[in-house]
Amino acid sequence: MKTKGEITTVSLEYIFLVVVCLLSVFPFYWMLVAATNESSEIMRGKLTIGTYLISNIKTMLSTVRMGRAFWNSLRTTVCGTVLSIFVCSLAGYGFQIYRDKQKDMLMNVLLLSMMIPFASVMVPLFKMFSTVHLLDSTLGFILPSVSTAFLILFFRQNSMSFPLETIQAARVDGLNEFQIYARVYVPIMAPTFAAAAIVTFMGTWNSYMWPLIVMQSQKMQTLPLLVTGLTAGYTTDYGLLMLCVSIMTLPTVLLFFTQQKHFVEGVVGSVK
Amino acid sequence: MPPVPETDTGVLSASGLPDSLRYTGNIMAGKKTLETTYKNAGWRFVMPAALFIFVLSFYPMVQAFFLSLQSGLANNLHFSGLRNYIRLFQDEKFLAAVRNVFIYLVFQVPVMLFLALILASILNDKKLKCKGLFRTMVFLPCATALVSSALIFKSIFALDGLANTWLMGLGILAEPKNWLQDPVWARIIIILTVTWRWTGYNTVFFLAGLQNIETSVYEAARIDGASPSQSFFKITLPLLKPVILLTAIMSTNGTLQLFDEVQNITAGGPGNETLTISQYIYRLSFVYNPQFGYAAAVSYTILIMVAILAFVQIKIGDKA
């Protein structure tokens, strides 16, 4: 039996939750709907799917180099994610499986880098990259985020449950240390890799500040750089803007919808 | 020490050493080489990542310090000691940026963390219906780019935007309000955008923390006659302390470095009323005539603030 008070608490909980969910989904819904409407209708407050999607797409194709920006984003993000996962998983594996005092000490030093705000190293990094001619290049875009203490820690924590007997058995079978990582560890730890890859992919896809500095030419513009440029003029075509924002947002959102479990694991990461 | 097998004795004696000693020596030597092989392999695994962090985080940090002791435009830098740091205290733009960032910090972080905590405790309720759907909707904003969220909110609060249309339709506003040109409203909208984007993210952490608490603890409390609010304050909060501390430090860190949202919603305006420290560093280095030395000095203030605030939060966390 529930008391009257309990019922009120429960219904208040549901009301609160529904309100929060509406607020949470509304801007997203509005973005998608706006992409199918004409600018003036959007501003008049139209909230239903319109008929201007094709026309907005046409405008986009004729005025904005969306395809090139999409390719730049995709290329940098995929390269960055693959490299980052490789480097950080190697390190996380190494720190845990070959654990000793010196390596623990090094790990603690690396963890300090989590406290360094990116804004603080941005200027010296820019100068460094301009000296070695890495400005305006895919490599220049991805290098600063290849190795992060967060990801190393994530792989180290997840390696704790990895059975050492498996490694011993692989050694007896004649695999060298790297082969053990590549052929035994990676397949067994596939879910960990998936979680790390999703979070890294989203982070790189969405990164804005560093690309703003390092990707200087139009030719190298990634989606966030291109899309933010669309509001620069006096009048903004909101239909076009929201179509481009939607195109930029959909890949990460689809990833989120299909891989929510891995996403949550990746976000919470090493905090267990 | 392993027993010496009988069969080996003859061979070992030939070398003129006592059997037992010679044999053990060999075993040890074998172990050592293997151990060194493993040790070296271990270092090879961790070195690439460590090198990247040293070259791309620690080294620039040191460089930024030396840079911060130099003045001048572009690459014509000369040593000027602590002049840049003294200049900070007379620089109105810098002081405005620090003030703005603290306004964001004081209002945004506590509200967001409180909201996330409530959401997490509701979502953790075993009896909640449609749990999966609710979770997905709450987490959804953290899958959108900061830039997307900024542009969406900017469009909604534009002069001819949805907010004005609705409020005028409801008769709350007589004429369209220029939200982003009003210092207070501009800040509120930035805070709103950041809260929208990050509440779900923090809920993920709190939910993970809550799932680690045994349900039996709550049942025991209920049997002892504790009310829901009592068990929230007496059980949930203390057990979640480490997670709260972590999210507080992360959010503080993020807010001190706020850039994407402000850059795309107000670009720092009106005047410098919403300008952040990161934006100021960006302007000093890449928008105005570049003053890399002074920008580096501004950079160090963020580092120092991050360090001090993290330290304070850890101290408070220890006491609470």
Predicted local confidence at residue B13, as pLDDT: 39
Map out the domains of chain A as residue ranges: 66-228
A80 or B316, which is more confident? A80
Task: Reduce the DSSP state of residue A121 to 3 states and report it.
Answer: helix
Domain boundaries defined on chain B = 6-68, 90-319
The predicted pLDDT at position A141 comes to 94
Chunked mean pLDDT (size 10), chain A, 272 residues: 69 89 92 88 81 87 90 95 96 92 92 88 91 92 93 92 88 89 92 92 93 90 91 80 93 90 82 54
pLDDT at B21: 43
The pLDDT confidence band at residue B231, using thresholds 50, 70 and 90, is confident
**Most B CBs within 10 Å, among A123, A128, A171, to test the B interface:** A123
Q: Minimal Cα distance from B210: which residue of A?
A: A272
Torsion on CA atoms A29, A266, A204, B140, rounded to nearest 10: 10
Q: Measured between beta carbons, which residues in chain B are less than 8 angstroms from residue A121?
A: 56-57, 60-61, 64, 299
Which CATH code is given to the segment(s) A66-228?
1.10.3720.10
Cβ within 8 Å, pair A117-B169: no
Q: Does B73 touch chain A (CB under 8 A)?
A: no
Nearest-CB residue to A98 (from B38, B137, B165) = B38
Inter-chain residue contact B286 with A213, CB threshold 8 Å: yes
Best to test chain A binding among B31, B147, B287, B313 (most A CBs inside 10 Å): B147
Is A42 in Cβ contact with B264 (below 8 Å)? no
3-class state of residue B70 by DSSP: strand
**Contact list, B116 vs chain A (CB under 8 Å):** none
Distances (CA, A) of A185 to A100, A167, A262: 20, 9, 18
Q: What is the pTM of this model?
A: 0.87
Q: Which fold has domain B90-319?
A: MetI-like fold (1.10.3720)
Looking at residue B2, what is its pLDDT?
46
- CB contacts under 8 A, B 147-166 vs A, are 147-149, 151-156, 158, 160-162, 165-166
Angstrom distance (rounded) from CA A220 to CA A137? 7
Q: What is the pLDDT of residue A232?
A: 73
Q: State phi, psi for B78 to the nearest 5 degrees.
A: -135, 155
What H or E segment, with its residue span, contains residue A151? helix A149-159
- Give yes or no for a contact between A225 and A207, defined as CB atoms under 8 angstroms apart: no
Q: What is the per-residue pLDDT for A119? A: 86
Looking up tokens 């460094």, which residue turns up? A128
Query: Would you state the structure tokens that stand for residue B223, as one six-digit string?
Result: 């049997």
Residue B14 has pLDDT above 50, yes or no: no
**8-state DSSP, A50:** -
